[in-house]
Structure 1
């Protein structure tokens, strides 16, 4: 553990989660995007992910019982998660787990695990950062994969071997490119090579999930950076062959014009 970030946990909801965990005698942590965005000073995220070293659904129910109005707990049994919408916040709870995958699916086989097991299964080191909610170390940072250093250096890196990370869940390749575009980060060289090596694995991802990531890339300040990375890694010809078909210099009446592919990418930035 490095440093303490109690100031990140100023919202009263965190004290309620902490009290609920204490009643259940389990440890719990805020993890993922909330921690990352706080440390990047990107405002206060409305989505809060909580990992319990124990039963995440039980923690959600206990938290709901301590909240005014006893809000409804939405349970997703297949994923072992639970969600509470409270005021302007969306809280998601999960029990710490480790995952393994079959080659033809991105749906994991899940087993109960430790906090570090749960951090290992995260897509990137910057999304594996966790803040403790136990009273004895409230706000302490748990950073086993040097996510803080990667935030400072603006590097996207996987906690484990990127070849395994992307082969197990190929959607993470598009998430890497989307985060690099959104945060203006650089994808680590080993990770970038692994994306290229595993590019054909993107075929097992549903069109809906691919379109969702493309929309997120398009909503970034400079979406062309994302499409350039998709092109360089070889993913773009697989998911949008019509776009890569535009590549090549067009000549009209003896005049050379901009390559239609790169011109299209310039247009999406406007």
Structure 2
């Protein structure tokens, strides 16, 4: 361990909750005569006093061998997942996810972010990491247990709330362009600044992102949007012009416009504000994405009238129609539970607010039917969408919305429309009129649904059945 100097500090890791597992790993390492460290995010979060259930272990030698020996030491029945192509291993124990790898150095070809890997020293391994705050390593061997090795002053950057690369930033980002978005993700999660030279480099080589898989980009975007203040990350993506590469539809929302006395607000900044408003009240990933996409079609629907000013009529419907293409490009799930949910919220996000002008039971029943089980999420998005620098105006809109929400819940309690399925099924219609499957069956069923939503009949079997009999002949003739 020639690289260990007497002036490195010793971290009292025996005082932390995970000391038992770290001591066990250290003991197994000593038995195998392997120089071993806990590194990366675990060490970073230790200093930041953040909870971290992932432990990254690096040893000068065979990481897979160490993982198997640690598993046997902890529990002879404990299984180890080996990733032989990458020379890594992973095990789970008492809620911890522990990954093992041998120290290595990397080199990159310009056409790929997948490195050529070879054995290396601890110094090589620290140098290959993305940011200084992730390069710190704490020794687990008994002789130097708790010793911190911080050659790139990661502690200082943590104290300064700074994202900085350990090596030349332009080369760091060119080698692995995913680190461009990771820099923004860490800045967002930790509320850190990006160092000037690091910022300059990531903007210089941002077009290298085209060699990164959409799945990996999506993973980083999800982490950005899950942050306490996700707008910070999206603002950084916009300022670096990365947003124009990965989500150009959103980037096009940027900018105010004025014609005579008429102006429209910067819809991108409004979207960021709506996103933060949602994030303050919900951690739901796809509800937050609905906030991002709720005005996505405004640039395509913008019109100007000299008298009335700017309008964006129909942007909610067009926005919902745009989402399947965007989701496929970003490799987001296209299931009904995800894509369908976001489309629904985007399509309906103006509906509850519009009810404030004319609240009718019929309109409310239709909203309840279309929102189904996502009414609370829709209300949350609608409240978040009420933004203005005029606080009195916001308070008035919110007060109006309170009235709408109360009315909606009153109608729901009375009519039980949410999640309702028409009590008269196609099977009932076919039996009543001795029909085979046909368009007439669907027409009768639709007429019954419309009668319920219009309030002509209650959503009860007896009343709906009588209504079916009364209208059936008209449809069958």
- The answer to whether the aligner puts 1:6 opposite 2:15 as a matched pair is no
Higher strand share goes to which structure? 1
- Retained in 1: the 8 A contact 2:13–2:19? no
Shift of residue 141, structure 1, vs aligned partner: 0.2
What is the distance in 1 between the residues matched to 2:156 and 2:225? 28
- The answer to whether the aligner puts 1:225 opposite 2:232 as a matched pair is yes
SS at match of 1:269: helix
Structure 2, unaligned runs of 5 or more = 278-477
- The answer to whether the aligner puts 1:165 opposite 2:172 as a matched pair is yes
Q: 2:198 aligns with which of 170, 191, 203?
A: 191
The equivalences for 1:22-171 within 5 A come to 22-43=30-51, 45-171=52-178
- Retained in 2: the 8 A contact 1:247–1:259? yes
- Retained in 2: the 8 A contact 1:56–1:95? yes
Shift of residue 70, structure 1, vs aligned partner: 3.1
| 1:74-124 CA distance string (max 9 Å, x none) | 001111100001110000000000000011111110010000100001000
- Retained in 2: the 8 A contact 1:250–1:260? no
Shift of residue 7, structure 1, vs aligned partner: 2.5
Q: 1:20 aligns with which of 28, 40, 43?
A: 28
| 1:175-229 CA distance string (max 9 Å, x none) | 0001001101110000000000001001111111111111111111111111111
- Retained in 2: the 8 A contact 1:163–1:194? yes
- Retained in 2: the 8 A contact 1:32–1:129? yes
Shift of residue 251, structure 1, vs aligned partner: 5.4
- Retained in 2: the 8 A contact 1:83–1:92? yes
Shift of residue 11, structure 1, vs aligned partner: 2.5
* Over 4 Å off, 4+ runs: 250-254
Bigger drift between 94-103 and 246-255 goes to 246-255
Higher helix share goes to which structure? 2
SS at match of 1:151: helix
TM-score, length-scaled by structure 1? 0.96
Aligned length: 269
Q: Give me the CA root mean square deviation.
A: 1.4
TM-score, length-scaled by structure 2? 0.55
Bigger drift between 253-262 and 211-220 goes to 253-262
Structure 2 counterpart of 1:246: 253
- Retained in 1: the 8 A contact 2:35–2:141? yes
Shift of residue 231, structure 1, vs aligned partner: 1.1
Relative CO higher for 1 or 2, CA cutoff 8 Å, sep ≥ 6? Answer: 1
Structure 1, unaligned runs of 5 or more = none
Shift of residue 71, structure 1, vs aligned partner: 0.9
What is the distance in 2 between the residues matched to 1:111 and 1:181? 33
